[in-house]
Amino acid sequence: MLASSLPVRHLSEFAADVRAGLTKPGQRELPSKYLYDEVGSALFETICVLPEYGLTRADARLLQKYAGEIVERLPSPIHVAELGSGSGKKTRWILEALAQRQKTYYYPIEISPYALAACAKELGQIDLVSVVGYEQPYLEGLRAVAEGREEQGHLLVLFLGSTIGNFDRDAGEEFLREMRAILRPGDALLLGTDLEKDMALQLLAYDDPAGVTAAFNLNLLARINRELGADFDLRCFRHEARWNFSERRMEMHLRSTQRQKVEIPAAGLRISLDEDETLWTESSHKYKAEAIPGMAARTGFRCEEQWIDREWPFAQNLLIAR
């Protein structure tokens, strides 16, 4: 491997992150949060309807079935902030249940303007629910929401879809701790976690035969071409899904099928990739339901209740800030 620098006036955050990831010694990587441009968000919505990817449907099924029970365990009055709202479809069940007892503010926090717009459209019509979107990183958005609230008001934070799985385990716990520091005792966090399951199912979920996940992964290179003027030849990369046994996570990689050079002008970078070298684009950690209460305890919460889907092992965990 080899990397050389080209002069560049100003690096956008995207360019700087791409540069840092691609010049890492050893395994090169690209941050998974950049998978969600307009094309990537649309491909992810398609992944969610694939028969092989049961995660989103399990998440939604639990919310639909148990929204009443979840809302019963929350203090009142309470407003809702969601980290990474996506399209907002599955959030409807919680908002409708809450709006039965109080007027509810809903604050989706999303760095993707496409997802934010889709979410406002999806949830803007519910009676007694007002939507105020924040186009910001998670914790910055949450801080802004928390600062604006009344003396007695509580917050329910939704962190659904096992998005926490994209963090390394330690970083995930650190993230929960930082979130807890923004909250008050009695505030709630509904945390969705995908559970460990049959290996064959897990692999198929991240490497579906129709190739939608492959397109979702490859689109990251297409996005770098579009936005940073790079010359990745997508035909010289292959999508790869792996189970990392010791870390208990799925990983997505893009494998270079030949020795090749790539130039990324806006990142001031030229790299050469070996044949079979991979770019690591995402981790999706899987959890054991029994491990969640410990995780809550270590990060300033207690686990009040867990609801588990049997069809596709997945847990909704209701954590309360201590």
Minimum separation from the CB atom of position 288 to ligand AVJ (A): 17
Residue 94 identity = I
| CA distances in angstroms from 309 to 33, 111, 306, 315, listed in the order given | 27, 29, 10, 7
Query: For residues 179 and 215, which CB has a smaller minimum distance to ligand AVJ in the complex?
Result: 215
Is the CB of 192 or the CB of 268 nearer to ligand AVJ?
Answer: 192
CB-CB contact of 139 with 114 (8 Å): no
| CA–CA separation, 84 and 109 (whole Å) | 6
Beta carbon of residue 47, minimum distance to ligand AVJ (angstroms, whole number): 5
Round to whole Å and give the CA distance between 220 and 34: 7
CB of 149 to ligand AVJ, least distance (A): 28
Nearer to ligand AVJ, 84 or 133 (CB): 84
The two beta strands, 249-256 and 278-285, are: antiparallel
Instruction: Give Cα separations from 82 to 13, 91, 138, 193 (angstroms).
Output: 23, 9, 9, 15
Write down the least CB distance from residue 163 to ligand AVJ, Å.
5
Which residues, other chains included, contact 109 with Cβ-Cβ below 8 Å and sequence gap of 6+? 81, 82, 83, 84, 85, 133, 134, 136, 138, 141, 142, 145
130, 137 Cβ separation under 8 angstroms:
no
Residue of closest CB approach to ligand AVJ: 284
Nearer to ligand AVJ, 284 or 317 (CB): 284
In terms of CB distance, is 206 or 301 closer to ligand AVJ? 206
Q: Looking at beta carbons only, is 115 or 269 nearer to ligand AVJ?
A: 115
**Shortest distance, position 240 Cβ to ligand AVJ, whole Å:** 12
Instruction: Tell the smallest beta-carbon distance from residue 126 to ligand AVJ (Å).
Output: 24
Q: Which residues have CB under 8 Å from 39's CB, separation 6+? A: 219, 222, 223
Measured between alpha carbons, how far is 286 from 299 in angstroms, rounded to an integer?
19
Residues near ligand AVJ, by CB under 6 A: 47, 55, 161-163, 165-166, 206, 213, 282, 284
Nearer to ligand AVJ by Cβ, of 38 and 69: the residue is 38
Q: Residue 83 or 97: which CB sits closer to ligand AVJ? A: 83
Phi then psi for residue 121, to 5 deg, are -70, -45
d(C-alpha 46, C-alpha 195), whole Å: 22
Shortest Å, Cβ 128 to ligand AVJ: 29
Q: How far is the CB of 263 from ligand AVJ (least distance, A)?
A: 27
DSSP state of 76: S
